[in-house]
Amino acid sequence: MNKIRKRAVSVLLLVALLIVGMGFYMFELFRDGSDWASFSANQGVYDNGSLSTGTITDRNGVVLSAPGEGGRVYNDDPAVRRAVLHAVGDRWGNIGTGALYVFSSKLIGYDIVQGTYSVDGSGKTLELAIDADLNVAALNAMNGCKGTVAVADCETGEIICMVSSPTYDPDNEPENFDSEEYDGAFLNRFLSASLTPGSTFKLITMAAAIENIPDLFDRSFTCEGTYSVGSDVVTCTGVHGSIDAEEALAVSCNCAFAQIALELGSETLCEYAERYGFTESFEIDGVKTVAGHFEAAPEGSVDLAWSGIGQFTDLVNPAAMLRFVSAIANGGKAPELTMLKNSKTAKTERIIDADTAARLSEMMNYAVYRTYGTDNFPGITMYAKSGTAEVAGEQPHAWFTGYGVYGDRTLSFVVVLENGGYGSVMAGSVANTVLQKAFGLS
C-alpha cells in the first residue's frame, strides 16, 4: 500500500497541469482582456456590431454620442454631427481612428476586476478634448473644401479642434460613398493623410540652416525670379532681389531656399526631417499617425533644391506638422498631443534646440507682419508660415500653420485645404476664424 500511496501522487501531476494552464489563462486575460471585451461580437456591449454602451462628450460636456433605446444616438444638431464625426467615429467602425473605435474599452468601461459591468449598464463617459462649437466653426470656414483643421493647446497638448473633410451626417448616411464627393470620407486627414507641404517645409530647411550655416544671418541671397541648377531652373513667386534669411522666409523666396538646400545637402535635410518627426509615424492616444516622406535627392540636383522647398516627393502628415509648430511655441519641446480632455500640463519631448526654436519664432512672427498681415489676425499675436503646395494638374494645396498667443494661452494650429488655392489667403483666413473663436474673441 506504501507504493500505491506514492504512485497516487501522479494524480497531482494532472492537477499541476490544470493550475499551470489556468495561470497561463489568467496571464492572457490580464494582458488581452481589454481587447477580448471590446470584440465587436460581445453582445453585452455591442448591438449588431455597433457599440451600445458609453457616452462621448466634448470638453464642455456637450453629448456627442450616447447609448439610446434603439442603438447609438448622436448629437441632435446635424452640423455638430458632421463636424465631430471623425473625432467620434461612426456606428460601424468604418472610421478606424474615431473615439468609438479607439477608446472602445474605455467607453465600455472595461477593467480587469469589473469587466464591462456597470450598475445601470450604460458604460462610462469619455470627455474628448475637442470643442464641438469650434469644430463646427472650422468646418464652416473650410467652405466645403477637402482637408483638415486642427488646433492644439500647447501647454496641455489637448487637440481642441479636429475636423476632417469630406464628412457626412452619421444619422443620415449618404448612399454614394464611392462618389468623388465622399472620396476618403472615412479618413481623418489630420491623422491619416500625408500631403505635399509646399513652403511650410521651409521651416525645417531654415532650422537646419540656422544650426549648420554659421554666418547665415550675415548672408544675403539674390533672387531674380528664377535660379538655375545645372540645366534646370527653380522658379520663384516673384523677383525678390537681394534679401537676407529672415526676409527669405517671410516672403517665402524659393531662390534663396534652393541655395540653402543645395548648400546643406540632402543628408542634412534628411536628418532634420527625421529629427523633427516628419518621416516616422507617432502615436496620439495609441492611434498611429501616418508617416510622412522625405527622399534624399542627389547632391547638386534641382530635386534637392525642390525638396528643401517642400516640393519634389516631400509628404507631411498634418499631425506631425502640428506637433512641430507646437514644439516651436514651447521653446523646442513638443507636447504629447491627446484627443482626450486633460487638465494637466502635457509631457514634453525636446525635438528642437531652444535657440533654434526662438529664432524660428521670431521669423514666423516677422512673416505675419511682413506678408500675411497682422491686421488679418486681430487681437492675436501670430506666428505662422503658409504653404502653397503645387500638385500636378490640380489646384495647389493651401497650408497655413503656426501658433497664436492671446493672454496666457498659446494655441498651435494646422490648416490644410486640398486644392484650396493660395496658402496664406485661403488657409490663413480659416486659421483666423478658428483662433478668434478659440480665444473667445468672436
Partner 1 sequence: MTVFTDKIEQLAASIYGHIGGSYPYFTAVIRYLLPLLALIVIIRCAKSLLREKFEPEEWGILTMAGGIKYTLYHWENTIGRAKSSDVCINYPTVSRSHGALIRDSGGSWTVYDLNSKTGIRVNGEDVVGSREISSGDIVSVGGADMVFLPLDKTGERTQAEQRTKPGRVIKPGVTLFLLTLFQVFLGLQCCIAGRDALDGRIPLGFIALTALMWFAYIFTRIMRRSAFEIETLAFMLSTVGMAVTATSVPSDMFKQVLFMIAGLVLYFALGWFLRDLNRAKKMRWPIAAAGLVLLGINLVLSEAVFGAKNWLSIGGFSFQPSEFVKICFIFAGAATLDRLFAKRNLILFIGFAGCCVMALVLMSDFGTAIIFFVTYLVISFIRSGSIATVFLSVGGAVFAGMLAISMRPYIAARFSTWRHAWDFVNESGYQQTRTMSAAASGGFFGVGACEGWLHNVVAANTDMVFGVVCEELGLILALILIASIILMAVYVVKYAEAARSSFYTIAACAAAALFIFQLTLNVLGCVDILPFTGVTFPFVSKGGSSLIACWGLLAFIKACDTRQNASFTVKMPKKVKYTGDLDDTADLYRDYEDDTDSDVQPDFTDTDWRWNDE
Task: List interacting residues with partner 1 (CB under 8 A).
Answer: 1-12, 14-15, 17-19, 21-22, 24-25, 28-29, 32-34, 36-37, 39, 41-45, 110-117, 119-121
Return the number of the residue (18 or 239) whose C-beta is nearest partner 1.
Answer: 18
The rounded distance, in Å, linking the Cα atoms of 171 and 104 is: 20
User: At closest approach, how far in Å is the CB of 51 from partner 1?
Assistant: 13
Return the number of the residue (93 or 115) whose C-beta is nearest partner 1.
Answer: 115
The conformational region for residue 416 under phi > 0 = left, psi -120 to 50 = alpha, else beta, is: beta
User: At closest approach, how far in Å is the CB of 99 from partner 1?
Assistant: 20
User: At closest approach, how far in Å is the CB of 350 from partner 1?
Assistant: 39
From start to end of 82-231, where are the E strands?
125-127, 147-153, 159-165, 221-223, 226-229
User: At closest approach, how far in Å is the CB of 109 from partner 1?
Assistant: 10
With contact defined as beta carbons under 8 Å apart, do 280 and 288 qualify? no
In degrees and rounded to multiples of 5, residue 296 shows phi and psi of -75, 110
The rounded distance, in Å, linking the Cα atoms of 316 and 197 is: 6
Angle at 139 between CA 135 and CA 140, to 5 degrees: 115
Return the number of the residue (15 or 392) whose C-beta is nearest partner 1.
Answer: 15
Return the number of the residue (10 or 231) whose C-beta is nearest partner 1.
Answer: 10
Return the number of the residue (111 or 244) whose C-beta is nearest partner 1.
Answer: 111
Find the DSSP H helices in 302-369: 302-307, 318-329, 354-367
Return the number of the residue (32 or 224) whose C-beta is nearest partner 1.
Answer: 32
C-alpha cell at 117: 459591468
User: At closest approach, how far in Å is the CB of 180 from partner 1?
Assistant: 34
Q: Please name the residues in contact with 320: beta carbons below 8 A apart, sequence gap of 6 or more.
A: 276, 277, 278, 282, 289, 292
User: At closest approach, how far in Å is the CB of 106 from partner 1?
Assistant: 15
